[in-house]
Amino acid sequence: MKKTRGSGAVLACLTAVILAVTGCSGGNSNASTSSKTESEATATTAGETGSGNPDISTFRKLTVYTVGNFPQNDTKAVVEEINKYLKEKINAEIDFQGLPWSSWAEKMALAYQSGEQVDLTFAPNWADFANNVAKGAFLPLDDLLAKYGQGIKETLDPRFLDGGTVDGKIYAIPTNKEIGESHTIMFRKDLIDKYGFDVNSINTLEDLEPWLQTIKEKEPAIAPIWLSGSGSDTLGYFDKTKPSMEENFRYELVAGAPAGIVLDTKTDKMIISSMESDTAIYRMKLYSDWFSKGYINKDAATTKTSTEDAFKAGKTWMKFGSDKPDSDKEDSIATGIELVKLKGNDPEISTASVSNSMMAIGRTSIDPERTMMLLNLLHTDKHLINLIDFGVEGRQYVKVEGKDNFIKLPDGVATRADTGWAPGIEWMFGNQTLTYLWEGESADKWEKFKAYNEKAHKVKSFGFNFNTDPVKTQVSVVSNIIKEFRPLLETGSLGVDKVLAEYNQKLKANGIEAIRAEVQKQYDAWKAKQP
């Protein structure tokens, strides 16, 4: 997914490969009315989105699928306000299907196979996007975008559209957010201050060791590092070991391929990281060393408690996150705990980074044209996107007096989760640059995002997506092997040499070489077509 130093983040992406997955009562009746002037200034109505005036006289009920921290207590009230607004704008409402992470992948696979109505759906590259395109799950969007998506084309950096393109056709529209990605570790600010730690002094993962030792000795009730072998949490997320820094971003993860396959950019050859990357092996041994020293929670390989949940429960002082602008402030607001973060790598644009959050129109959509109108509104209509992201004004948030674009929690409410609507879906929908800022965030946050995007650069394999169909049997078996060994290798729970030898033997015996050959074949063919 992201380009990695020494392929260290290869292990960080195993979960995405395996699991297809690393916030009641009546609504505010004045919400949509009071924001009408504001939304009209930023929205394009259905009749203005393309050439001519499309007929929206027929009412439509569109099914919209997404994934997040669901169920939410106030979903009914929020969706009622969304539908009241959409009825006015495009004579449509949505049947909102907010699915929990635990069942989303299985539910969507069934929905695509069974032919049930799917109008708009979250369809990131890490959720088998390329294969779903090959199976005909999604409609090509080029013509629909040209007719009813002019607002998208005017506001979205054209580099994003490459992320949703397969064989020259657009099948998904990415979220307008950071175009590149870099990752970080965040820490409780009170403990950073208590022990006089300087976040600017941490340049590599190894630099953290004195901090970990201090926390282990002086804060025995919490884990210096919390990992969950069953989740997406891994130290590989902060991809800055000393050897990986020396490799200077030599290896790239390959979109759509099992995480063990990476591209060596010096040779343009696909390699198996656990067998051929010294930096990946070094990282696994570092984990093992830290586990033996007590820096990592003892139940890391088996616990179902994610780092995020452990952090909120006071079991650790750290959590993983994006290094995008103001991400520490966003997470501070979400958790109710003040955080500071380490500086990550410079952002890089990969196939994954521009396609890790996209929306597609299902082939079973009852009205693709109206669905594209909805998608266009998500990218252009300030009232709608804030309603979806943050809920109903007066219920989930209130405006900060004298600061039109700033919001805060209502009086007496401690966290967003307490408002009844905090599914953590802001990064999935439409145009993030239209969203309100929480009190405490930087007033120039979106200007920072623009600068962040401008300095991001493309990785070598940008635009390549591996189609697993030719080796789908081997991929299925290898994915299960990865699932079996991942908790042991990524948490350092057992001696690396023995576990790694057994892991590599199983990979070889079950088709990893055939997968590598197929990835190389497809990559070479793709590269030959590049200008």
Contact 179, 166 (CB under 8 A): no
Burial of 504 (C-beta count, 10 Å sphere; 0-12/13-18/19+): middle
- The ranges assigned to domains in the chain are 1-23+182-346+464-531, 35-177+353-457
Range 1-23+182-346+464-531 has CATH code 3.40.190.10: yes
Contact 297, 226 (CB under 8 A): yes
pLDDT score, position 190: 98
pLDDT score, position 37: 37
Q: Which residues of the chain have pLDDT under 70?
A: 1-53, 230-233
SS3 127: helix
35-177+353-457 CATH, one of 1.10.238.10, 3.40.190.10, 1.25.40.10, 3.30.110.60: 3.40.190.10
pLDDT score, position 250: 86
Q: What sign does the dihedral 207-212-213-219 (CA atoms) show?
A: positive
- Asked if omega into 410 is within 30° of 0 (cis), the reply is no
The 3-class SS string of 149-207 reads CHHHHHHCCHHHHHHHEECCEECCEECECCCCECEEEEEEHHHHHHCCCCHHHCCCHHH
The answer to whether the pTM exceeds 0.95 is no
| Fold match between domain 1-23+182-346+464-531 and domain 35-177+353-457 | yes
Report the candidate in 191, 486, 456 with the shortest Cα–Cα distance to residue 319.
Answer: 191
pLDDT score, position 367: 97
Q: How far apart are CA 372 and CA 151, in angstroms?
A: 11
pLDDT score, position 281: 92
pLDDT score, position 22: 32
Q: How far apart are CA 153 and CA 360, in angstroms?
A: 16
